[in-house]
Amino acid sequence: MEKVAQKLGLGKAMFNIVPEEKFGHYSANLMTIRTSSVEARKTPPNEFAEKFKDELLKLKAVKEITDKIETAGAGYLNFWLKPESIQKDFVEIFKNKDKWGKFKIKERKTIVIDYSHPNIAKPMSVAHLRSTIIGQALCNIFKFRGWRTIGDNHLGDWGKQFGILIAAFKQSDLKNKKDLKIEDLMNLYVDYTARMKNNSELEDKAREETKKLQRGDKENIKIWKRFYKISLDEFKKVYKRLDIKFDYYLGESFYKPMLEGIVTDALKNGAARISDSAAVIPMDNNQPPFIIRKSDEAYLYSTTDLAAIKYRMKKFKPDMVLYVVDNGQSLHFEQLFKSAERLGLAKKEKLFHAKFGLVLSEGLKKLSTRAGRHISLQEVMDEAVSRARNVAEKKQPDLESKEKQKIAETIGIGALKYNDLSQNRMSDIAFKWEKMLNLEGNSAPYLQYAYARLKSILRKAKPVARFDQKFLNSEIETRIILLLSEFPDVLDLVTKNYLPHYLAEYLYKLAQEANLFYQKEKVLAASKGEREARLALAQAIAATLKTGLGLLGIKTLERI
Ligand code: ARG
């Protein structure tokens, strides 16, 4: 679509596919073009559109691809393309198969994506689940568009909570427990912190263990490593089930050796100063200062993040570093980015907080630790899969149980991901199981069924090698081709705004059009010529659905 807009000299106009052919194939809102010149602004919108149209019609490229241009509304133009031009585009799309939309560039840009990042010794939260799903989708899409992507899991694996944990652990009888679970660790922590509140002895003990750990005390390091392993094994189970892959696991502990240098440099360069014996970077706009070393000499989350910026800039030379973190940390990232710039570590423009909202339960209440009750992610995933199993049971009662389970897993996990990715990441999202698994609505199973249905048609015919695109001339076929042409632009929209829901919206539209297509047109029973062309179209739709869902991390099924 962008290409067409370019050819038509409409680079700056808002350019859209029109839902009904009687109003054109594309419509363009000329507002931005009109208001960008002083001269044009004086012309009323209607008149401007009229003049603009006349100018366009003089262009050779425009004449070549359009049949008709009409003014519409205040400052709008409607375009009808020549069928041959649309059909020619389809040949290109068809040839690309599952590579349609994939970008090959020589000079690769690099993006570091910081996502998932759960904390050691605590089960992953739903916020981490959102970060994981959104971060992975962004990674996939950037990579597909030709970027070098670095997925980095910035684990919360260091800090004073480990002193508390180690102290609690040493007092407990868990030391000899064989299969220590992450929940055990969390309970230890919760219990000890509660007791610590009115017991300064316990507090001192915890502080002492932290110090020992920081000094590299053998026993404490060994315990810490054990906690690390238990936690990571647990996280990796979640990653495996969700199909998540990282290039690096550079947790907070990795940056320990760099922290002192960060603070010394910040003080030297004048960005930081000492205030009440803490090292702080002052902020403007009445924001609290960014503390990078506490009065007791301890470093913080903030110091680690500055070190991580320094390290990433040097090691990966990225064009962009993306932090997929909930919007509760907005202030932290605002201050972090300002500080990084003042320290000369990175330009603010290269750092972006891709924030997201909360996960709410069915009744839109905050879905979280109700009176200490933790919602485990395994539980959420199991629930999604068991509900999806009911769907599979209804649709395919005769399948073998193992087969049904496989379908349920694909649909359930897909539903979970799609529920997240189909909504603007900034909004709070809800778990509405009915909606998430609704076969008629905007849901993963709806898209997965649309794909499977196309595949079941395609299985009944030989793969198309040759076809005549001129047969693709009905309104719905034309609209589908226009939609397929738009796929690369939609991906660019995602990479420009870090908003994967644009892709989800697009795929939903494509699936709806696909369903309409074989309601309206015969495919297998069509006459020779039409049959091959329509099969080719079905093949291209299926390929793009699969590619698009795959980028969102959602698997397809050949049959459901
Ligand atoms: N572990 C942190 C948390 O759970 C998130 C880390 C985000 N990444 C970062 N570079 N600060 O809150």
- Which pLDDT score, from 0 to 100, does residue 364 have? 43
Q: Whose CA is nearest to atom 11 of ligand 1?
A: 305
Dist. CA 511–CA 270, nearest whole Å: 57
Does residue 363 surpass a pLDDT of 60? Answer: no
Cα(252) to ligand 1 centroid in Å equals 9
* Cα-to-centroid distance, 137 and ligand 1 (Å): 18
Q: How far is the CA of 519 from the centre of ligand 1 (A)?
A: 49
When pLDDT is averaged across residues 395-414 and rounded to a whole number, the result is 93
Across 239-266, average pLDDT: 98
How far is Cα 503 from Cα 55, in angstroms, rounded to an integer?
35
**116: CA distance to ligand 1 center in Å?**
8
For ligand 1, atom 4, name the residue with the nearest CA.
118
> SS3 for 198-262, per residue?
CCHHHHHHHHHHHHHHHHCCHHHHHHHHHHHHHHHHHHHHHHHHHCCCCCECCCHHHHHHHHHHH
Mean pLDDT of 107-132: 94
What is the average pLDDT score of the chain?
93
With CA atoms as reference, report the closest residue to 344 among 387, 314, 315.
Answer: 314
Residue type, 86: I
Question: Cα dist. 4→26, 94, 149, 203, 491 in Å?
Answer: 10, 18, 29, 67, 17
Angle at 264 between CA 260 and CA 270, to 5 degrees: 150
CB-based burial label for 372 (10 Å; 0-12, 13-18, 19+)? exposed
pLDDT of residue 528: 95
d(CA 125, CA 301): 19
| Distance separating alpha carbons of residues 508 and 444, to the nearest angstrom | 9
For position 11, what pLDDT does the model report? Answer: 73
Ligand 1 midpoint to CA 456 (Å): 44
Q: In this structure, what are the phi and psi dihedrals at residue 332, rounded to the nearest 5 degrees?
A: -55, -50
From the number of C-beta atoms within 10 Å of its C-beta (0-12, 13-18, 19+), residue 325 rates as buried
pLDDT in tens, 184-212: 999 999 999 999 999 999 999 999 999 99
> Could you give the percent of the chain with pLDDT greater than 90?
79
Distance CA(469)–CA(91), nearest Å, equals 7
- The count of other CB atoms within 10 Å of the CB of residue 494 is 24
User: Ligand 1 centre and the CA of 192: distance in Å?
Assistant: 23
DSSP state of 471: G
Place of tokens 């879905």: 367
Residue whose token pair is 């301890």: 298
- Taking alpha carbons only, the member of 356, 132, 168, 155 closest to residue 250 is 155
pLDDT digits (tens, 9 = 90+) for 481-533: 999 999 999 999 999 999 999 999 999 999 999 999 999 999 999 999 999 99
Handedness of CA 59, 60, 63, 65 (dihedral sign): negative
**Mutation choice for ligand 1 from 115, 116, 117, 255, CB with most ligand atoms inside 8 A:** 117
Distance 347 CA to ligand 1 centre (A): 21
Mean pLDDT over residues 327-347, rounded?
97
Is the CB of 323 within 6 Å of ligand 1?
yes
Pocket test for ligand 1, best of 150, 235, 310, 325 (most atoms within 8 A of CB): 325
- Rounded to 5 degrees, what are φ and ψ at 82? -70, 135
Q: From the alpha carbon of 301, which atom of ligand 1 is closest?
A: 11
Distance 22 CA to ligand 1 centre (A): 52
Q: Where are the domains of the chain?
A: 2-81, 159-246
Q: Is the pLDDT of residue 306 over 50?
A: yes
Ligand 1 centroid distance, CA of 489 (Å): 31
339-364 burial string, b = 16+ CB within 10 Å, else e?
Answer: bbbbbebbeeebbbbbbbbbbbeeee
Report residue 371's pLDDT band, with 50, 70 and 90 as the boundaries.
Answer: very low
User: Which residue carries 């892959």 as its tokens?
Assistant: 245
The pLDDT of residue 442 is above 50: yes
pLDDT surpasses 80 at 375: no
What's 101's DSSP letter? T
Selection from 44, 24, 22, 25 nearest residue 35 by Cα: 44
Nearest Cα residue to atom 1 of ligand 1: 156
Closest protein CA for atom 6 of ligand 1:
117
In this prediction, residue 370 carries a pLDDT of: 43
Substitution site in 161, 329, 339, 345 for ligand 1 pocket (most atoms within 8 Å of beta carbon): 329
119 ligand 1 Cβ < 6 A: yes
Tell me, in angstroms, the distance from the centre of ligand 1 to residue 415's CA. 26
Ligand 1 contact via 355 beta carbon (within 6 Å): no
The model's confidence at residue 168, banded by pLDDT at 50, 70 and 90, is very high
State the first-to-last Cα distance of the chain, in angstroms, to the nearest integer. Answer: 33
Identify the three-state secondary structure at position 67: strand
- 366: pLDDT strictly greater than 80: no
Provide the phi-psi class of 555: left if phi over 0, else alpha when psi is between -120 and 50, else beta.
Answer: beta
* CA-CA-CA-CA dihedral for 15, 354, 547, 455, to nearest 10: -90
Average pLDDT score over residue span 92-105: 93
Q: Is the CB of 34 under 6 A from ligand 1?
A: no
Is residue 559 scored above 50 in pLDDT?
yes
Atom of ligand 1 nearest to the CA of 333: 11
Rg, the chain, Cα only: 28
Residue 373 has pLDDT above 70, yes or no: no
Q: If you measure from the C-alpha of residue 323 to the centroid of ligand 1, how many angstroms do you get, rounded to a whole number?
A: 9
In short, whether 325's Cβ falls inside 6 Å of ligand 1 is: yes
The one-letter amino acid code at 53 reads: K
Q: Give the 3-state secondary structure of residue 16.
A: strand
Domain 2-81 has CATH 3.30.1360.70: yes
SS (H, E, C) 342-398: HCCCCCHHHEEECCECCEECCCCCECCCECCECCCHHHHHHHHHHHHHHHHHHHCCC
Q: What is the pLDDT of residue 126?
A: 87
Owner of token pair 């962009």: 320
Spatial distance between the Cα atoms of 517 and 538, rounded to a whole number of angstroms: 9
Q: How far apart are CA 503 and CA 425, in angstroms?
A: 12
d(CA 548, CA 268): 50
Q: Is 117 in the pocket of ligand 1 (CB under 6 A)?
A: yes
Categorize the per-residue pLDDT at 125 as very low, low, confident or very high, splitting at 50, 70 and 90: confident
Helices then strands, each counted (H, E), the chain: 21, 13
Identify the pLDDT of residue 31: 87
CA-nearest residue for atom 3, ligand 1, is: 118
| Confidence at residue 374, expressed as pLDDT on a 0 to 100 scale | 59
Q: Which residue's structure tokens are 């000079």?
A: 107
- Compute the distance from residue 357 Cα to the ligand 1 centre, in Å: 15
Q: Helix, strand, or coil here: 325?
A: coil
User: Hey, how many other C-beta atoms are within 10 angstroms of the C-beta on 298?
Assistant: 16
Tally of CB atoms within 10 A around 307: 24
pLDDT number for residue 358: 87
Residues facing residue 290 across a β-bridge? 281
Atom of ligand 1 at shortest distance to CA of 325? Answer: 7
Task: Match 């990084």 to its residue by tokens.
Answer: 340
Q: Ligand 1 centroid vs 117 CA: distance in angstroms?
A: 6
- Decide whether any atom of ligand 1 lies within 6 Å of the 254 Cβ: no
Count how many residues are written for the chain: 560
